[in-house]
Amino acid sequence: MVKIRAFFLVMLLGILPVGSAIATEQEPTSAGRVEVVLANEHRKNVNEIKQDFADAGLTNVHVQFMKAGRPPTNIGLGPKVTAERARAAIRMAEKYNGGITILLPERLFPDRYVTIASSSFDDTVEYPIGEEALKELENPSLTTEQFHTLYHRLTPADQLPVKKARVF
């Protein structure tokens, strides 16, 4: 009983017994999942596309294809995606999805998650982005912190996106 109390006291105080492994906070080694939806015309080149993503530093890629039509021109990035991976995702979205016109806020995604052309969101979380702002995000001199500061500014949590006019 005394040993159990001593053990809990040691744990409570954060003192490790002799021979214990020291616990350190480390970043997970996983680079994160990348989900991509592409037009059906790309289906025949899926292996080359996956290799292109891997060559760009985007591994763990899961590609799906639209049965008909074009996928949305959006991108969503988790809050801990590195600036380098984010820029690579932007390049891949431009290459295989015809560009980016919508940003999805990072608060919707796990830390290292990337999505390109997701149809899972509606216009209440779709923030339009112009060419000039997209070029700012692609700036190679931005650190990861600077990139996410800019991304936050472009997808503000306290401000709903501008809704598109509907035509009936």
Specify if 73 maps to a domain: yes
Specify if 87 maps to a domain: yes
Q: How far is CA 22 from the centre of its chain?
A: 31
Specify if 88 maps to a domain: yes
Contacts of 125 (CB under 8 A, 6+ apart): 104, 105, 108, 161
Q: How many domains does the chain have?
A: 1
pTM, entire model? 0.78
Specify if 106 maps to a domain: yes
Task: Look up the domain containing 49 and give its range.
Answer: 34-154
62: pLDDT strictly greater than 80: yes
Specify if 17 maps to a domain: no
Specify if 15 maps to a domain: no
What pLDDT was estimated at residue 24? 36
137: pLDDT strictly greater than 80: yes
What pLDDT was estimated at residue 23? 38
What pLDDT was estimated at residue 112? 97
Q: For the residues of 44-108, what is the DSSP string, one character each? A: GGHHHHHHHHHHTT--SEEEEE-SSS----EEEE-TT--HHHHHHHHHHHHHHHS---EEE-GGG
Specify if 69 maps to a domain: yes
Assign 159 a pLDDT band (cuts: 50, 70, 90): confident
